[in-house]
Amino acid sequence: MNLLKKNIRIYLLSIFLTTISYALPHSILTVLLLAKGVSLSQIALIQMAYSGGMILSEFPSGVISDLWSRKSLYLLSKVLLIVMFCLVLFTSNFWTLALAWFTYGIASAFDSGTLDSEIIVSLKESDRALIPQFVSIDNNTQTFALLLGSVLGSFLYFKINILIYLLAILLTGISIFLVYFLYQENPRKNEDLISINTVLMKEQIRESFSELMHNAKLRKIFCVALISQIFFQTHFQLWQAFLLEKSVKEEHFIFYYVIFQVITIVAYSVPIDHVKERFKKRHFSIKLLILIMVILPFLLLSKQFFLFSSAYIIFVFLFFLIEYIVNSYFNDAVSEDNISSLVSLKSTVSRLFSMLCLLVMSLLLNRFSTSLIVSMSFLISFLLLLGFYYWNRFSNMTK
């Protein structure tokens, strides 16, 4: 148990340092990339490379971790992260930057389900009651590090510019050092795991697709998740460009970033059962929803700070609340046997659709203003979700 406690401390410190390192440019990333000479259209394609790296590496990473070791895969993910930082620091070419984000995607995929999974397995063997506490501390650590890294990066960027990536390399290097020398991995027998896992993975994928095809509720959840990607990809990729077009100072981006993080926390803290009950009883005013749908996108086109900021914040809260509800319904609808596979499938399908959204966005950015694209994307997302809701209600009434 003492070894496990030590491993948990090392892991949390490592993930804290790493999260700070990759969060440093978050609140000024668009500004940073524009300074390197790439266009908004190219930035969308660069982000596509990240999703591509994630998709290609997400499924194989699980088999690799069993064949090799979770500690080694975790360390490899951090080395790849440093490679990404170096590419961004020393190059300005579109293709090398795309390669950097592709490498970042692979690093993120390799990081998933490594040391955190091993610790959870160890806790199951020693004291299962500690698992929720570990998960909570892990999430809180990453959230705090994300905010700290973003605030620090925003401040330092206007002092040392691109050299913030040197700090990122240093912090990630310390993280690698800590895990390599101080984290003690549980010995495992790996001889036959690769063949066993390959067979199990094929069977699990087959069963997951079968469940998806026979579960109408799951299919609807997948549809809502895909529609929501139109909003989320527009928000994640264009919020900084949107503010630049509105003449908001770059130094103030960090305040928006923190507000968005707080909104996410608030949205995920809303009593979900209460929301479901009110929605079922139709206590929500449909007329109010339509009014919001019609007015808010036009407010995004306004030059008035209060109007476009308020409209944007309302949209962010609304869609993160929708995401929370969708995830809740998903967890209720999916079977325990296939939950991991269906989560991976949902993630992969969402990423594929997000790549399509980014490609379309890249083409539109060559023709239209950022404000117009943001406004229309938010409106289309809302219309599609509202249309899907009414189509679903009509289908249920005619059965």
The segment with the largest mean pLDDT, out of 36-50, 64-78, 129-143, 186-200, is: 36-50
Same domain, yes or no: 268 and 361: yes
Q: Is residue 191 situated within a structural domain?
A: no
The whole domain housing 42 covers 2-184
Residue 173 has pLDDT above 50, yes or no: yes
Q: 101 or 393, which is more confident?
A: 101
> Which region holds residue 247: left if phi is over 0, alpha if psi is between -120 and 50, else beta?
left
Q: What is the DSSP letter of 53?
A: H
DSSP per position, 138-165: HHHHHHHHHHHHHHHHHHHHHHHGGGHH
Counting residues of the chain whose pLDDT is more than 70, the rounded percentage is 83
What ranges in the chain are assigned the alpha helix state H? 2-23, 29-35, 40-67, 70-90, 94-111, 115-126, 131-160, 164-182, 193-214, 216-245, 253-267, 272-280, 286-300, 305-333, 339-364, 370-398
Q: What is the mean pLDDT of residues 382-390?
A: 86
Q: Which of 234-243, 260-269, 287-296, 301-310 has the lowest mean pLDDT?
A: 287-296
Residue 399 has pLDDT above 70, yes or no: no
Same domain, yes or no: 87 and 16: yes
Question: 153: domain CATH number?
Answer: 1.20.1250.20
Query: Could you tell me the pLDDT band of residue 199, with boundaries at 50, 70 and 90?
Result: low
Residue 308 has pLDDT above 70, yes or no: yes
Same domain, yes or no: 235 and 127: no
Residue 274, C-beta contacts closer than 8 angstroms, at least 6 positions apart: none
- Round to the nearest angstrom and report the end-to-end CA distance of the chain: 57
Please count the structural domains in the chain. Answer: 2
The segment with the largest mean pLDDT, out of 162-171, 194-203, 352-361, is: 162-171
Residue 196 has pLDDT above 60, yes or no: no
Residue 279 has pLDDT above 70, yes or no: no
Same domain, yes or no: 267 and 167: no
pTM attached to this predicted model = 0.86
Q: 295 or 374, which is more confident?
A: 374
157 within 8 A of 164, measured Cβ to Cβ: yes
36 within 8 A of 92, measured Cβ to Cβ: yes
> Which region holds residue 113: left if phi is over 0, alpha if psi is between -120 and 50, else beta?
left
Q: What is the DSSP letter of 184?
A: -
Same domain, yes or no: 217 and 174: no
Residue 365: φ, ψ to 5°:
-65, -20
Q: Is residue 189 situated within a structural domain?
A: no
Over the chain, what is the mean pLDDT?
86
Per residue in 334-360, pLDDT (tens digit) is: 665 555 567 667 777 888 899 999 999
Give buried/exposed letters for 296-326 (b at 16+ CB in 10 A, else e). bbebbebeeeeebbebbeebbbbbbbbbbbb
Same domain, yes or no: 218 and 364: yes
Query: Could you tell me the pLDDT band of residue 311, with boundaries at 50, 70 and 90?
Result: very high
Counting residues of the chain whose pLDDT is more than 90, the rounded percentage is 53
167 within 8 A of 21, measured Cβ to Cβ: yes
Q: How many residues does the chain have?
A: 399
Q: What is the mean pLDDT of residues 4-30?
A: 95
Query: Could you tell me the pLDDT band of residue 187, with boundaries at 50, 70 and 90?
Result: low
Q: Is residue 193 situated within a structural domain?
A: no
Same domain, yes or no: 67 and 98: yes
Q: Which of 192-196, 264-268, 370-374 has the lowest mean pLDDT?
A: 192-196
145 within 8 A of 15, measured Cβ to Cβ: yes
Residue 208 has pLDDT above 70, yes or no: no
Q: What is the DSSP letter of 185?
A: P
Same domain, yes or no: 27 and 174: yes
61 within 8 A of 53, measured Cβ to Cβ: no
Per residue in 124-160, pLDDT (tens digit) is: 788 777 887 888 898 889 989 999 999 999 999 999 9
The segment with the largest mean pLDDT, out of 56-60, 127-131, 365-369, is: 365-369
DSSP per position, 192-205: THHHHHHHHHHHHH
